[in-house]
Amino acid sequence: MKIGEKIKELRIRNGLTQQELADRCELSKGFISQVERELTSPSIATLMDILESLGTNIKDFFNEQVDEKIVFKKDDVFSLENKELSHVIHWIIPNAQKNKMEPIIMELGPGDSSSKVEDPHDGEEFGYVLSGSIILHLGKHHYRVKKGESFSFKPNMSHFIANGSKGKTTFLWVSTPPSF
């Protein structure tokens, strides 16, 4: 990490000139310029004064954030076949359980269902049928959702999904909070 570059970036983000930052820290403009160009290093006490003037602290300044992964490839997918329930779940975002939503792709064979009946819980659920059709069971109601159609509901009643076609059915299912 280049401390001077990061200080300059914070100074500019805060809309300050070198002179304004120097005045706030009781330093010279020349010293701020030298720090930003990596020609000198401030003492820890001086660095703390500069950072306070820039609205941050030493802990946050040195805390390097890991770049968040945006695009996921085929190699990132984790799949699990449940032979008992005859379905396959593909977790298309690794470690999505730590996020606020968890998208999966589920494959159901003829006559199969997503799982046992799910009890009501907080959150929301969304799905999009990629192939075949499903029967969405919400309490005492049943909804047929065909290829190219979607569903969305608050899971405030017992629910599960069953294959509604004679062949394999595949659908995208997104749950908040994660529950798969």
Clarify whether residues 53 and 81 are in a common domain: no
| Cis, bond preceding 177 (omega within 30 deg of 0) | yes
Give pLDDT tens digits along the chain (180 positions): 789 999 999 999 989 999 999 999 999 999 999 999 999 999 999 999 999 999 999 998 988 766 678 899 999 999 888 877 778 999 998 877 778 889 999 999 988 888 778 888 899 999 999 999 999 999 999 999 999 999 999 999 999 999 999 999 999 999 988 777
Clarify whether residues 97 and 145 are in a common domain: yes
Clarify whether residues 169 and 116 are in a common domain: yes
Number of domains in the chain: 2
Q: Is residue 142 part of a domain?
A: yes
The range of the structural domain enclosing residue 8 comes to: 3-62
Pairwise CA distance, residues 169 & 180, whole Å: 18
Clarify whether residues 54 and 105 are in a common domain: no
Of 15, 39, 62, which closes a domain?
Answer: 62
Clarify whether residues 87 and 147 are in a common domain: yes
Pairwise CA distance, residues 79 & 105, whole Å: 9
- What's the N-to-C CA distance of the chain in angstroms? 39
Task: Could you list the beta-strand ranges (E) of the chain.
Answer: 78-82, 87-91, 102-108, 124-131, 133-138, 141-146, 150-153, 159-163, 169-176
CATH number at residue 121: 2.60.120.10
Asked if residues 97 and 127 have their Cβ atoms less than 8 Å apart, the reply is no
Of 37, 62, 87, which closes a domain?
Answer: 62
